[in-house]
Amino acid sequence: MKFESMADFIGMGGHGLYVWLAYGIALAILLLNVVQPLRQTRQLLNQQARRVRREKGLS
């Protein structure tokens, strides 16, 4: 461990804002890159399921 205390860790020797901002943006971008395609796929499958039901209802 390179830090004495929790406050020391959060503060990052005066560079806390920069370090945590960078890591926060990284987390947000990585999460978005997983969540977005999963949501798109689910939407597409739901949409196709509705279409199948509609066509079945007509015939």
Partner 1 sequence: MAKNKTEKNWMPRWFYQLASPRWCYDITGKLLPAFSVLALLLLLGGTVWALLFAPADYQQGNSFRIIYIHVPSAILAQSCYMMMALAGAIGLIWKMKVADMVAKACAPLGASLALLALATGAIWGKPTWGSWWVWDARLTSMLILLFLYLGVMALHSAIENDSTAAQSTAVLALVGLVNIPIIKYSVEWWNTLHQPATFKLTEKPAMPAEMWLPLLVMLVGFYCFFAVSLMLRLRHEILRRERRSSWVQALVESR
Number of residues counted as binding partner 1 (CB under 8 A) = 31
Site string for partner 1, 31-50 (x = CB under 8 A): -xxx-xxx-xx--xx--xx-
Torsions phi, psi of 3, nearest 5?
-120, 145
Consecutive H or E run containing 58: helix 16-58
The answer to whether 1 contacts partner 1 (rule: CB under 8 A) is yes
In the bound complex, what is the minimum distance in angstroms from residue 57's beta carbon to partner 1?
14
The answer to whether 3 contacts partner 1 (rule: CB under 8 A) is yes
Residue 30 DSSP label? H
Residue type, 32: L
